[in-house]
Structure 1
Amino acid sequence: MLNTATILQNSTSVAIGGFDGMHIGHQELFHHLDQNGVIVVINTGYANLTPSHFRQRHTDKHLHYYNLEDIRHLDGAGFVELLKKDFPKLQKIVVGYDFHFGKDRRYSYEDLKELFLKENEDGEVVIVKEVKHHNDAVHSHKIRQKLAIGDIKGANEFLGYNYTICGKKITGQGIGAKELVATINLEAKEFLVPKEGVYVTTTRIDDEEHFHPSVSFIGHRVSTDGSFAIESHILDGKVVCEEKAEISFIAYIRENKKFESMDELRDAIKKDIAVANRELQRLEL
């Protein structure tokens, strides 16, 4: 495997952006990269769909990060000089139609073209037009909005994959396995969590390669102690989670609701499990 320095030295094309979500709009930019192209991520510190290294799961291209705080002082020429220094063989830059860069984001793709091609006449700046799905423009902020209202299927269509959060295992209430159903409780601080409620999901345990069918709950335990929880119940048998898990969201089942008794809560969970099983069987997951 080539080291990072070698990859940057040999790369002739880059795609530049924030790329939180690595959604179908972002993938359109990546399609314009050469075989040895690199994805340049401007890391704002606010990514919560694919925070940090989780972007790498959605591409086989090398990711190179610039922290916004480290480069925001640069003017347009300074930013292009940085690219030329880090990518000495650079011939092609790919950006979206709404790309802005430099101090106070005052420079557009037109400035990028002028600055890059000024000293590189054989170079190319590719501007990718707005990507739409069912006539709706695909943007990361719209995915966040869909997750906030529980529109999991809509969010997944924009992403091109099932939205997934990852977290470490934490201790839950302790009453699930005894009185309800056993669940894996997670803490996933880096990720945006969807609307409170119950979801059809699949869950990957520790370093297993496959996902288990599951039903998951996100929200405040209004029927018990009122605390906030992210918990997943595995449907295909008893599974031991040691350290971490990932929950992939497939469909929204119902809103978070307060039940007056443990019997009512238990009945509701049985119904949720039945709904999840039907949906997962329909999808052959």
Structure 2
Amino acid sequence: MKESTSIAIGGFDGMHIGHQQLFGALDENSTIVVIETGYANLTPKKEREHFSHHPIIYLELDDIRHLSGEEFIAFLKEKFPKLQKIVVGYDFHFGKNRKYSFNDLKTLFDGEVVVIDEVTLHGDSVHSHKIRAKLQIGDIEGANAFLGHNYTIKGRVVSGQGIGKKELVATINIEAKEFLMPKEGVYATLTRIDDEEHFHPSVSFVGHRVTTDGSFAVESHILDGEVSCKERARISFVNFIRENKKFDSLDELRKAIKKDIAIASKELKFLQL
């Protein structure tokens, strides 16, 4: 990274299509500089690395927020001695009390400063907070359009309530506390098991098991045959199928799950897995 001639700076939670515009302005020898604010829950921690070929470094906001504009530039030059270009978004602010904007960056930095204008899709500006809002109302297709990829969570495998395989369908249960959960309900999804390269078509449930024990769960039923998952799984959300609902009996729930599987199978049929 010492060889980097250009950097893109921002929070980059989601690595959405607006962020990708910034990355498109980088040179061949580039680094993405992520400012960690503690609020990233679309692509927490190093999850961002799945969505760019550029190396990424992470800076804690608390470690740099006290710097003056001049000190911030000096800090960057120390980290990147060959720095010639800085790429930021139109709403980028830095330094103590966020008092500096891209205009100050242009004044303080003796290299090139590229400012990427607001990115819109269908007339709507693309921002991470809007993606979060879409996920929380179950607008998976809208969120995915803003992201430029399917919203994906990752978690370690945990034990379920024990009745799925016996009474309903076999599921993989995961715990993914670092990620924002979409609206409670049932989704057509793609699930990747452990270190497998490909995704399996699946139907997933996120929410409280209101028909049984009331506990919160994230569980995925694989549609192309039962698989063994040892450590972790990734669930990519494709479409919202239905709301979470309390059923009067396990038999009613079983019928609903059968219908969910049919809908998910149809939704996922033409996807290249």
SS at match of 1:10: coil
TM-score, normalised on structure 1?
Answer: 0.95
- The percent identity for this pair of structures is 70
1:81-119 deviation line (CA, Å, top 9, x unaligned): 101111111111000000000011111110111011xxx
SS at match of 1:246: strand
Name the residue aligned to 1:218.
206
1:23 paired residue number: 16
Give the distance between the partners of 2:25 and 2:72, measured in 1 at CA: 21
CA deviations 1:127-153 (Å, max 9, x no partner) are 100000111100000000000000000
Map Cα deviations across residues 198-225 of structure 1 (whole Å, 9 max, x no partner). Answer: 0000100111111000000000000000
The alpha-carbon deviation at position 284 of structure 1 amounts to: 4.9
Distance 1:284-1:15 versus aligned 2 partners, 3 A rule: closer
Residue equivalent to 2:74 = 81
Give 1:147-162 correspondences, 5 Å limit: 147-162=135-150
Task: Please tell me whether residue 239 in structure 1 is matched to residue 227 in structure 2.
Answer: yes
Larger mean Cα displacement after TM superposition, 268-277 or 71-80? 71-80
Q: State the alpha-carbon separation in 1 of the partners of residues 271 and 165 from structure 2.
A: 28
Amino acid at match of 1:275: I
Question: Matches of 2:41 and 2:25 in 1, distance apart?
Answer: 26
Per-residue deviation at 1:64? 1.3
Q: How many residues align?
A: 273
Alignment partner of 1:203: what SS? strand
1:3 aligns with none
CA distance in 2, matches of 1:243, 1:84: 41
Q: Give runs of aligned pairs for residues 42-53 of structure 1, distance below 5 A.
A: 42-53=35-46
In structure 1, how many angstroms separate the alpha carbons of the residues matched to 2:33 and 2:270?
Answer: 39
Runs (5+) with no aligned partner, structure 1: 1-6
Residue 38 in structure 1 maps to residue 39 in structure 2: no
1:233-252 CA distance string (max 9 Å, x none): 00000101101101000000
SS at match of 1:182: coil
* Secondary structure, counterpart of 1:40 in structure 2: strand
- The answer for unaligned runs of 5 or more in structure 2 is none
Equivalent residue runs for 1:187-206 within 5 Å: 187-206=175-194
Q: State the Cα distance separating 1:28 from its structure 2 match.
A: 0.1
What residue in structure 2 maps to residue 72 of structure 1? 65
Q: 1:45: Cα distance to partner?
A: 1.6
TM-score when scaled to structure 2?
Answer: 0.99
Q: Secondary structure at the match of 1:14?
A: strand
| Separation in structure 2 between the aligned mates of residue 75 and residue 197 of structure 1, nearest angstrom | 47
Give the counterpart letter for 2:49 in structure 1: Q
Q: Per the alignment, in what secondary structure is the counterpart of residue 166 of structure 1?
A: strand
Letter of the 2:228 partner, please give it. V
Among 169, 174, 182, which residue is 2:170 paired with?
182
CA distance in 2 between counterparts of 1:172 and 1:71 reads 43
